[in-house]
Amino acid sequence: MTPSDTRPARRTAETASTDGARYSEHVANLRHALEVAGDRLDPQVAAHARSVLAGADERLALGVDHTIVALAGGTGSGKSSTFNAISRLTFADVGVRRPTTARVTACAWSDDATPLLDWLEVDTERRISRGTELDGAEEESLAGLILLDLPDHDSIASAHREIVDRILPLVDLLIWVVDPQKYADEALHAGYLQSFVGAEASMIVVLNQIDTVAAAGRDALVADVSRLLREDGLVGVDVRAVSARTGEGIDELRETLREAVSRRSVAARRLADELDREGRRIAEEVPASVLEQVGPLVPGEVDRVAVAVGVQAVVDDVRASVRSGRTATRAPEFRSPQESAVRVIRSRWVSKVADGMKPAWAQSLDEAVPEQDAISAALLGALEAVPVDASPSARATSLRKAAWWVFGVAVVLAVAAILVVAGVVDVEAAFGAVAGAAAGAAVLVAVVLLIVGSRTRAAAADERAEKVKTAALDALRSTVETTLARPAQTVLDEHRTVRESALSVRDSGSAAAAGTGLAQR
């Protein structure tokens, strides 16, 4: 079986391109969340997110299909020898004089790593490439890997340590090389390793020069290194025993790197996790428990405003006036809303809508809702436009007039009948009987007309009252929506947009193994 048959499937250019497009969209969504939120986020959260986004922009511009692996360690640990063993080249500086490694050395299994190496500030003469057609399939399986040999961390030259401090947060996977003599050095643990707590999954500790240790004592030595790491707070760090001189453990180390680059790049996974983490931090500033729609609150608020301006009193006055059938000297009027009542209504509204919001968002909502004077003026203006018709019902008035006219006719007929019966008028007796019967019928008609008229007035009164009530409530509803609901809904929409944009960056492909990332140390 050939090496190409057993190696893991490499990421393709199309996969890398898809990753880049997806993360660019995630960055845009987070930036949109920050823009919409403005100064309503915690300043530290916003500042940190902007810093992460700036780094993400820079990394996306360089591509996320490269995996940066850095070899770090102290003087004499064999770090450069390990670099040469992994790259299978003699390129990194190996010597007796200390500090041995003074500048960053890079081996890139990539044809397009120049922008990234420029970004890492690796000198041109300190770069070498692998993975060409001459290297064969075994090196091709490491395509996308950039291996860095960093200056010794314990160098007496401050410039060397500054290079290490600058590059370490930028790498995706750290291989810390220690030797059997200095692995317990306090400067190493207190100065560097303890600072990587939380990034254990992105680290490998290599115990080099294992060939100098007796076979019987190797397991105990590895166990002691693990113990010291746990004491530093670095739990679960992978510890490897290798020998750069004899090659022991190097193939296994290369296989680990091969597996890393054959999967989704560490850079992509770490970027996904960083964006996810920032999205969650922003989302915490805009809790899901906050109200999303004010619509259900509007009817109740309209009812409260209606009480404040006396809608029911006007409705009752209109009903009574129309039912009486008399023309009122003055039409019923809505009273001006009391300042204290409007203040309470506004305060209660803001408090109810802002329930669960962070203080900055609650303040934004309070500022968005008009002040009580503006609300009062809007309510009064809306009510003044409501037609209040308390005039008598024309039909009921006509019926009443007809009833009295018929009743008058009945009286005339009744008088005529009485005069005939009394003999005052010399006419036939039959006429008196007819007149009396007609008078009775007229009275009956008049009574019916009066009853119908009364019922007509009552129906008209109810209809007019209902029209006034409907018109008044419509006017109040429109005003409540304009002065209370819409401004509040705008803030709620922004609140929801920030949360949705922040959480949209969640990436199911973000592996826990890259979850902490060295940049977060």
Q: Which pLDDT belongs to residue 498?
A: 97
Contacts of 222 (CB under 8 A, 6+ apart): 207, 239, 241
C-alpha–C-alpha distance, residues 488 and 492, integer Å: 6
Query: Are the C-beta atoms of residues 52 and 274 closer than 8 Å to each other?
Result: yes
Residue 385: predicted pLDDT = 86
Which pLDDT score is estimated for 377?
92
pLDDT at res. 393: 58
E-strand stretches of 86-136: 105-108, 127-129
Tell me the residue type at 502: A
Q: Are 206 and 300 in the same domain?
A: no
d(CA 391, CA 325): 8
Tell me, yes or no, whether 213 lies in a domain: yes
The range of the structural domain enclosing residue 237 comes to 66-263
* Residues 364 and 410 reside in one and the same domain: yes
Q: How many other CB atoms sit within 10 Å of the CB of residue 384?
A: 11
pTM exceeding 0.75: no
- Domain final position from 219, 247, 263: 263
Same domain, 201 and 112: yes
Decide if 147 is inside a domain.
yes
Q: DSSP secondary structure string, 25-68?
A: HHHHHHHHHHHHHGGGS-HHHHHHHHHHHHHHHHHHHH-S--EE
The number of angstroms, rounded, from the C-alpha of 507 to the middle of its chain's C-alpha atoms is: 15
Looking at residue 186, its pLDDT comes to 57
* DSSP element (H, E) containing 419: helix 394-421
Q: Across-strand partners of 147?
A: 69, 107
- What pLDDT, on the 0 to 100 scale, is given for residue 317? 82
List, in sequence order, every residue forming a beta bridge with 69; answer none if it has no partner. 147, 173
Q: What is the DSSP letter of 124?
A: G
Residues in Cβ contact with 379 at an 8 Å cutoff, skipping those fewer than 6 apart:
305, 309, 337, 342, 476, 479
Task: Tell me: do 485 and 348 sit in the same domain.
Answer: yes
Measured between its terminal Cα atoms, the distance across the chain in Å is 43
Q: Are residues 303 and 259 in the same domain?
A: no
Tell me, what's the pLDDT at 277? 92
What is the model's pLDDT at position 504?
A: 92
* pLDDT value of position 516: 43
Residue 236 lies in a domain: yes
Rounded Cα distance between 484 and 487, Å, is: 6
pLDDT value, residue 386? 85
Q: For the chain, which ranges sit under pLDDT 50?
A: 1-13, 95-99, 156, 508-516, 520-521
Q: Based on the domain organization, do 322 and 239 belong to the same domain?
A: no
User: Which among 241, 263, 285 is the end of a domain?
Assistant: 263
Residues 107 and 151 in one domain: yes
342 and 243 housed in the same domain:
no
Q: Answer whether 137's CB lies under 8 Å from 3's CB.
A: yes
Total domains, the chain: 2
Is 8 within the bounds of a domain?
no
The span from the CA of 133 to the CA of 171, in Å, is 27
Can you give the CATH number for the domain in which 205 is found? 3.40.50.300
Residue 210: what pLDDT? 93
Q: How far apart are CA 260 and CA 173, in angstroms?
A: 9
**Is 12 among the domain residues?**
no
How far apart CA 172 and CA 218 sit, in angstroms, is: 29
pLDDT of residue 354: 96
Same domain, 81 and 209: yes
346 occurs within a structural domain: yes
**300 and 159 inside one domain:** no
Two tokens, residue 239: 């510890």
DSSP at 181: T
3 state DSSP class of 453: helix
Q: Are residues 400 and 468 in the same domain?
A: yes
* Residues 313 and 220 placed together within one structural domain of the fold: no
Q: Would residue 269 count as lying in a domain?
A: no
- Pair 149, 101: CB distance under 8 Å: yes
Predicted local confidence at residue 514, as pLDDT: 41
Decide if 289 is inside a domain: no
